[in-house]
Amino acid sequence: MSELNLKAFAAAVAGAVAVASFAAPSFAQGMGGDTKGKEKCYGVSKAGENQCAAANGAHSCQAQSKVDMDGNEWKYVEAGSCAKMGGKTQAFQGKGMMPEKKGG
């Protein structure tokens, strides 16, 4: 490969990488760009309502969970509210528990 072809190839690769970095939405953008005051909470999302990749590697992206309250699935919640919702801040096996409703 000539030096000219190498430079053209390098420029094409650099351009493709730059375009991909702008085209792929980041997780923070999916959250409106603001995760301040939030925490990951495992075991509280309904099927199809998880934020991102499963902790056990079952899938790689948002809204792909198949089971309600799966301990490997997470979503962002207000900081300090995870346990109250029946979840945990670390992935776990099994399902989260829905807190009991008070006062009917």
Contact 55, 87 (CB under 8 A): no
Does position 83 have pLDDT exceeding 70, yes or no? yes
Contact 92, 71 (CB under 8 A): yes
At 17-72, the pLDDT tens digits run: 443 333 333 444 344 567 899 999 999 999 999 998 888 888 888 888 898 999 99
Better-scored residue on pLDDT, 62 or 16: 62
Alpha carbon of residue 13 to chain centroid: 28
Position 38 scores a pLDDT of: 96
Does position 10 have pLDDT exceeding 90, yes or no? no
Position 60 scores a pLDDT of: 85
| Token code pair at residue 91 | 């992935």
Position 9 scores a pLDDT of: 55
